Structure 1
Amino acid sequence: MIEGFTRQETLALTQTTSSRLAYLDRTGVIVPQKYGNPKKPTVIYSWEQVLEIRTIAHMRKQISLQMVRKLVAFLDKHGLDTTLHDKHLVTTPNEVFLVAPDWADMPQVMKVADREGAGLGQLVLMVLPPLNTVIQDIWQAATASNVIDFESFRQRAKTTPTQAG
Protein backbone atom coordinates (compact mmCIF):
# COMPACT_ATOMS: atom_id res chain seq x y z
CA MET A 1 0.00 0.00 0.00
CA ILE A 2 1.17 3.53 -0.77
CA GLU A 3 2.28 5.35 2.39
CA GLY A 4 1.60 8.84 1.11
CA PHE A 5 -0.84 10.63 -1.14
CA THR A 6 -0.80 10.97 -4.92
CA ARG A 7 -0.74 14.35 -6.61
CA GLN A 8 -4.48 14.12 -7.38
CA GLU A 9 -5.30 13.17 -3.78
CA THR A 10 -3.10 15.99 -2.49
CA LEU A 11 -4.86 18.49 -4.77
CA ALA A 12 -8.24 17.32 -3.43
CA LEU A 13 -7.18 17.33 0.23
CA THR A 14 -5.39 20.66 0.22
CA GLN A 15 -7.69 22.47 -2.20
CA THR A 16 -4.71 24.02 -3.94
CA THR A 17 -3.71 24.09 -7.60
CA SER A 18 -1.38 21.91 -9.61
CA SER A 19 0.74 24.96 -10.44
CA ARG A 20 1.03 25.79 -6.72
CA LEU A 21 2.28 22.26 -5.98
CA ALA A 22 4.80 22.59 -8.82
CA TYR A 23 5.96 25.97 -7.47
CA LEU A 24 6.39 24.61 -3.93
CA ASP A 25 8.42 21.72 -5.34
CA ARG A 26 10.51 23.90 -7.66
CA THR A 27 11.37 26.37 -4.88
CA GLY A 28 12.19 23.59 -2.41
CA VAL A 29 9.49 24.54 0.10
CA ILE A 30 7.72 21.16 -0.19
CA VAL A 31 9.45 18.47 -2.22
CA PRO A 32 7.46 15.24 -2.67
CA GLN A 33 8.93 11.79 -3.24
CA LYS A 34 9.27 11.01 -6.95
CA TYR A 35 9.30 7.54 -8.48
CA GLY A 36 9.63 6.10 -11.97
CA ASN A 37 10.19 8.08 -15.16
CA PRO A 38 12.23 11.22 -14.32
CA LYS A 39 10.42 13.22 -17.03
CA LYS A 40 6.96 12.33 -15.68
CA PRO A 41 7.46 10.74 -12.27
CA THR A 42 4.83 9.39 -9.92
CA VAL A 43 4.66 11.99 -7.15
CA ILE A 44 3.82 11.05 -3.55
CA TYR A 45 3.25 13.51 -0.69
CA SER A 46 3.54 12.52 2.99
CA TRP A 47 0.82 13.27 5.55
CA GLU A 48 3.02 16.03 7.01
CA GLN A 49 3.44 17.57 3.55
CA VAL A 50 -0.35 17.54 3.04
CA LEU A 51 -0.73 19.39 6.37
CA GLU A 52 1.96 21.86 5.30
CA ILE A 53 0.35 22.53 1.90
CA ARG A 54 -3.06 23.10 3.51
CA THR A 55 -1.46 25.50 6.01
CA ILE A 56 0.25 27.40 3.18
CA ALA A 57 -3.12 27.59 1.40
CA HIS A 58 -4.54 29.28 4.52
CA MET A 59 -1.56 31.64 4.66
CA ARG A 60 -2.01 32.55 0.98
CA LYS A 61 -5.27 34.29 1.89
CA GLN A 62 -3.09 36.94 3.52
CA ILE A 63 0.51 36.74 2.22
CA SER A 64 2.43 35.90 -0.95
CA LEU A 65 4.30 32.67 -1.64
CA GLN A 66 7.48 34.75 -1.66
CA MET A 67 6.68 35.74 1.94
CA VAL A 68 6.15 32.06 2.80
CA ARG A 69 9.61 31.32 1.36
CA LYS A 70 11.10 34.16 3.45
CA LEU A 71 9.44 32.74 6.54
CA VAL A 72 10.83 29.24 5.91
CA ALA A 73 14.28 30.73 5.20
CA PHE A 74 14.19 32.69 8.48
CA LEU A 75 13.27 29.60 10.48
CA ASP A 76 16.00 27.58 8.78
CA LYS A 77 18.65 30.28 9.23
CA HIS A 78 17.93 30.49 12.96
CA GLY A 79 18.01 26.73 13.49
CA LEU A 80 14.27 26.38 14.01
CA ASP A 81 12.07 23.63 12.61
CA THR A 82 10.81 24.85 9.23
CA THR A 83 7.41 23.16 9.34
CA LEU A 84 4.58 25.68 9.48
CA HIS A 85 1.52 23.56 10.28
CA ASP A 86 2.47 23.13 13.95
CA LYS A 87 3.30 26.78 14.65
CA HIS A 88 1.12 29.62 15.90
CA LEU A 89 1.60 32.26 13.20
CA VAL A 90 -0.09 35.63 12.86
CA THR A 91 0.05 37.45 9.54
CA THR A 92 -0.64 40.86 8.12
CA PRO A 93 -0.40 41.51 4.39
CA ASN A 94 3.26 42.51 4.87
CA GLU A 95 4.50 40.65 7.92
CA VAL A 96 4.47 37.29 9.63
CA PHE A 97 4.80 36.89 13.39
CA LEU A 98 5.58 33.71 15.31
CA VAL A 99 3.85 33.42 18.68
CA ALA A 100 6.31 31.38 20.69
CA PRO A 101 4.82 28.48 22.68
CA ASP A 102 5.28 27.77 26.37
CA TRP A 103 5.79 31.36 27.44
CA ALA A 104 3.26 31.47 30.24
CA ASP A 105 1.33 34.64 31.03
CA MET A 106 2.58 36.92 28.29
CA PRO A 107 3.13 35.25 24.92
CA GLN A 108 6.09 36.63 23.04
CA VAL A 109 5.61 37.45 19.40
CA MET A 110 8.58 37.47 17.04
CA LYS A 111 8.46 39.09 13.62
CA VAL A 112 9.73 36.48 11.18
CA ALA A 113 9.06 37.91 7.72
CA ASP A 114 8.46 41.35 6.26
CA ARG A 115 7.77 43.05 2.95
CA GLU A 116 8.72 46.71 3.19
CA GLY A 117 6.57 49.67 2.39
CA ALA A 118 3.12 48.36 1.46
CA GLY A 119 -0.04 48.88 3.50
CA LEU A 120 1.41 51.25 6.09
CA GLY A 121 -1.11 52.31 8.72
CA GLN A 122 -3.43 49.37 8.18
CA LEU A 123 -3.21 46.41 10.47
CA VAL A 124 -5.40 43.44 9.63
CA LEU A 125 -4.43 40.41 11.64
CA MET A 126 -5.34 36.91 10.61
CA VAL A 127 -4.63 34.08 13.00
CA LEU A 128 -3.94 30.88 11.13
CA PRO A 129 -6.08 27.97 12.20
CA PRO A 130 -4.65 25.59 14.78
CA LEU A 131 -3.34 22.22 13.63
CA ASN A 132 -6.51 20.40 14.70
CA THR A 133 -8.57 22.65 12.41
CA VAL A 134 -6.22 21.98 9.47
CA ILE A 135 -6.53 18.23 10.13
CA GLN A 136 -10.33 18.43 10.36
CA ASP A 137 -10.43 20.45 7.10
CA ILE A 138 -8.41 17.75 5.34
CA TRP A 139 -10.68 14.98 6.66
CA GLN A 140 -13.75 16.91 5.49
CA ALA A 141 -12.18 17.38 2.05
CA ALA A 142 -11.41 13.64 1.90
CA THR A 143 -15.00 12.77 2.83
CA ALA A 144 -16.43 15.11 0.18
CA SER A 145 -13.97 14.21 -2.59
CA ASN A 146 -14.70 12.01 -5.59
CA VAL A 147 -10.94 11.55 -6.10
CA ILE A 148 -10.07 10.17 -2.66
CA ASP A 149 -10.67 6.52 -1.77
CA PHE A 150 -11.82 7.27 1.78
CA GLU A 151 -10.95 3.86 3.28
CA SER A 152 -7.46 4.10 1.84
CA PHE A 153 -7.19 7.69 3.11
CA ARG A 154 -8.18 6.61 6.64
CA GLN A 155 -5.31 4.12 6.68
CA ARG A 156 -2.74 6.62 5.39
CA ALA A 157 -3.68 9.73 7.37
CA LYS A 158 -1.40 9.90 10.39
CA THR A 159 -3.87 11.80 12.59
CA THR A 160 -7.63 11.43 12.98
CA PRO A 161 -9.89 14.39 13.77
CA THR A 162 -10.51 12.98 17.25
CA GLN A 163 -6.76 12.76 17.92
CA ALA A 164 -6.33 16.32 16.69
CA GLY A 165 -9.16 17.88 18.66
Structure 2
Amino acid sequence: MTVLAVARNKHRSEKNGVDGKGRQVVAPAYAAELSIDSGDPAWFEKARTIVTSSGYIERLLRVGKTVVRRMEHIIVWEMVNGKKVPKGWVVHHVNERKDDNDPLNLVALPPRLHRELHVRLRELSNECNGLLHAVRRLELTQEHVVRATRLDELRKYWFGE
Protein backbone atom coordinates (compact mmCIF):
# COMPACT_ATOMS: atom_id res chain seq x y z
CA MET A 1 0.00 0.00 0.00
CA THR A 2 1.40 3.43 -0.91
CA VAL A 3 1.94 6.24 1.56
CA LEU A 4 -0.99 8.11 0.04
CA ALA A 5 -3.26 5.08 0.36
CA VAL A 6 -2.26 4.82 4.00
CA ALA A 7 -3.02 8.52 4.48
CA ARG A 8 -6.40 8.20 2.73
CA ASN A 9 -7.35 5.20 4.84
CA LYS A 10 -5.94 6.59 8.09
CA HIS A 11 -9.32 7.87 9.28
CA ARG A 12 -10.81 4.41 8.74
CA SER A 13 -7.93 2.56 10.32
CA GLU A 14 -7.47 4.55 13.51
CA LYS A 15 -10.10 2.56 15.39
CA ASN A 16 -9.39 -0.96 14.24
CA GLY A 17 -6.13 -0.99 12.20
CA VAL A 18 -7.82 -2.04 8.94
CA ASP A 19 -8.78 -0.21 5.77
CA GLY A 20 -12.23 -0.13 4.14
CA LYS A 21 -11.64 -3.58 2.58
CA GLY A 22 -10.64 -5.25 5.84
CA ARG A 23 -6.90 -5.23 5.11
CA GLN A 24 -4.39 -4.45 7.85
CA VAL A 25 -3.04 -0.89 7.51
CA VAL A 26 0.46 -0.14 8.75
CA ALA A 27 2.07 3.22 8.07
CA PRO A 28 5.54 2.84 6.55
CA ALA A 29 8.48 4.01 8.65
CA TYR A 30 9.48 6.65 6.12
CA ALA A 31 6.08 8.40 6.05
CA ALA A 32 7.24 10.94 8.65
CA GLU A 33 10.10 11.94 6.36
CA LEU A 34 7.55 13.01 3.74
CA SER A 35 6.07 15.70 5.95
CA ILE A 36 6.99 18.91 4.12
CA ASP A 37 6.88 22.17 6.05
CA SER A 38 4.36 24.75 4.84
CA GLY A 39 7.16 27.32 4.71
CA ASP A 40 8.95 25.32 2.02
CA PRO A 41 8.87 27.38 -1.21
CA ALA A 42 8.50 24.14 -3.20
CA TRP A 43 4.76 24.24 -2.41
CA PHE A 44 4.45 27.25 -4.73
CA GLU A 45 7.44 26.72 -7.04
CA LYS A 46 7.14 23.02 -7.88
CA ALA A 47 3.76 21.76 -6.69
CA ARG A 48 0.93 21.09 -9.10
CA THR A 49 -2.44 22.70 -8.33
CA ILE A 50 -5.84 21.04 -8.63
CA VAL A 51 -9.34 22.04 -7.61
CA THR A 52 -11.07 19.35 -5.56
CA SER A 53 -14.64 18.24 -6.24
CA SER A 54 -15.71 20.29 -3.20
CA GLY A 55 -14.06 23.47 -4.59
CA TYR A 56 -10.88 23.68 -2.49
CA ILE A 57 -7.46 24.25 -4.06
CA GLU A 58 -5.04 21.42 -3.34
CA ARG A 59 -1.28 21.35 -3.93
CA LEU A 60 0.45 18.14 -5.06
CA LEU A 61 4.22 17.96 -4.58
CA ARG A 62 6.28 15.07 -5.90
CA VAL A 63 8.88 13.73 -3.45
CA GLY A 64 10.74 10.89 -5.13
CA LYS A 65 8.10 8.42 -6.27
CA THR A 66 5.50 9.74 -3.84
CA VAL A 67 3.12 12.67 -4.19
CA VAL A 68 2.43 14.69 -1.03
CA ARG A 69 -0.93 16.49 -0.97
CA ARG A 70 -1.89 19.54 1.09
CA MET A 71 -4.77 21.94 0.96
CA GLU A 72 -3.56 25.36 -0.19
CA HIS A 73 -5.48 27.32 2.46
CA ILE A 74 -3.66 25.40 5.20
CA ILE A 75 -0.26 26.00 3.56
CA VAL A 76 -0.99 29.74 3.25
CA TRP A 77 -2.28 30.08 6.84
CA GLU A 78 0.77 28.27 8.24
CA MET A 79 3.21 30.31 6.11
CA VAL A 80 1.69 33.62 7.20
CA ASN A 81 1.34 32.69 10.88
CA GLY A 82 4.69 30.90 11.14
CA LYS A 83 3.19 27.91 12.93
CA LYS A 84 1.09 24.81 12.31
CA VAL A 85 -2.67 24.99 12.56
CA PRO A 86 -3.41 23.90 16.17
CA LYS A 87 -4.23 20.21 16.35
CA GLY A 88 -7.89 19.59 15.57
CA TRP A 89 -8.53 23.15 14.38
CA VAL A 90 -9.77 24.07 10.90
CA VAL A 91 -8.95 26.98 8.59
CA HIS A 92 -12.10 28.96 7.72
CA HIS A 93 -12.55 31.16 4.63
CA VAL A 94 -14.01 34.47 5.88
CA ASN A 95 -15.81 35.24 2.61
CA GLU A 96 -16.89 31.57 2.34
CA ARG A 97 -15.19 31.20 -1.08
CA LYS A 98 -13.15 28.00 -0.89
CA ASP A 99 -10.84 29.09 -3.72
CA ASP A 100 -9.93 32.48 -2.16
CA ASN A 101 -6.78 31.73 -0.18
CA ASP A 102 -5.72 35.31 0.43
CA PRO A 103 -4.14 35.38 3.92
CA LEU A 104 -6.63 38.07 5.03
CA ASN A 105 -9.45 35.67 4.16
CA LEU A 106 -8.20 32.79 6.33
CA VAL A 107 -8.72 32.24 10.06
CA ALA A 108 -8.10 29.17 12.22
CA LEU A 109 -10.91 28.05 14.50
CA PRO A 110 -11.57 25.09 16.78
CA PRO A 111 -14.14 22.74 15.21
CA ARG A 112 -16.93 23.59 17.64
CA LEU A 113 -16.58 27.34 17.06
CA HIS A 114 -16.34 26.73 13.31
CA ARG A 115 -19.61 24.77 13.29
CA GLU A 116 -21.27 27.43 15.46
CA LEU A 117 -20.06 30.15 13.08
CA HIS A 118 -21.56 28.35 10.07
CA VAL A 119 -24.90 27.92 11.89
CA ARG A 120 -24.96 31.64 12.68
CA LEU A 121 -23.92 32.52 9.11
CA ARG A 122 -26.77 30.39 7.75
CA GLU A 123 -29.20 32.24 10.06
CA LEU A 124 -27.71 35.56 8.94
CA SER A 125 -28.26 34.74 5.25
CA ASN A 126 -31.99 34.35 6.02
CA GLU A 127 -32.09 37.76 7.74
CA CYS A 128 -30.32 40.03 5.24
CA ASN A 129 -28.37 40.17 1.98
CA GLY A 130 -26.06 42.36 -0.08
CA LEU A 131 -23.69 44.77 1.60
CA LEU A 132 -25.38 44.46 5.01
CA HIS A 133 -24.88 40.68 4.87
CA ALA A 134 -21.19 41.11 3.99
CA VAL A 135 -20.62 43.55 6.88
CA ARG A 136 -22.45 41.39 9.42
CA ARG A 137 -20.67 38.25 8.16
CA LEU A 138 -17.33 39.95 8.77
CA GLU A 139 -18.39 41.12 12.25
CA LEU A 140 -19.63 37.65 13.15
CA THR A 141 -16.41 36.04 11.92
CA GLN A 142 -14.27 38.55 13.84
CA GLU A 143 -16.25 37.78 17.00
CA HIS A 144 -15.48 34.07 16.55
CA VAL A 145 -11.79 34.80 15.87
CA VAL A 146 -11.58 36.72 19.16
CA ARG A 147 -13.14 33.75 20.96
CA ALA A 148 -10.76 31.34 19.20
CA THR A 149 -7.76 33.48 20.15
CA ARG A 150 -8.85 33.42 23.78
CA LEU A 151 -9.30 29.63 23.65
CA ASP A 152 -5.84 29.27 22.11
CA GLU A 153 -4.33 31.40 24.89
CA LEU A 154 -6.04 29.23 27.51
CA ARG A 155 -4.85 26.06 25.76
CA LYS A 156 -1.26 27.35 25.78
CA TYR A 157 -1.55 28.38 29.43
CA TRP A 158 -2.88 25.01 30.59
CA PHE A 159 -1.02 22.67 28.27
CA GLY A 160 2.12 24.66 27.47
CA GLU A 161 3.63 25.46 24.07
Higher RCO (Cα < 8 Å, 6 or more apart): 1
The structure where helix makes up a greater share of residues is 2
TM-score range, shorter chain: under 0.3
Larger Rg: 2
TM-score by length of 1: 0.26
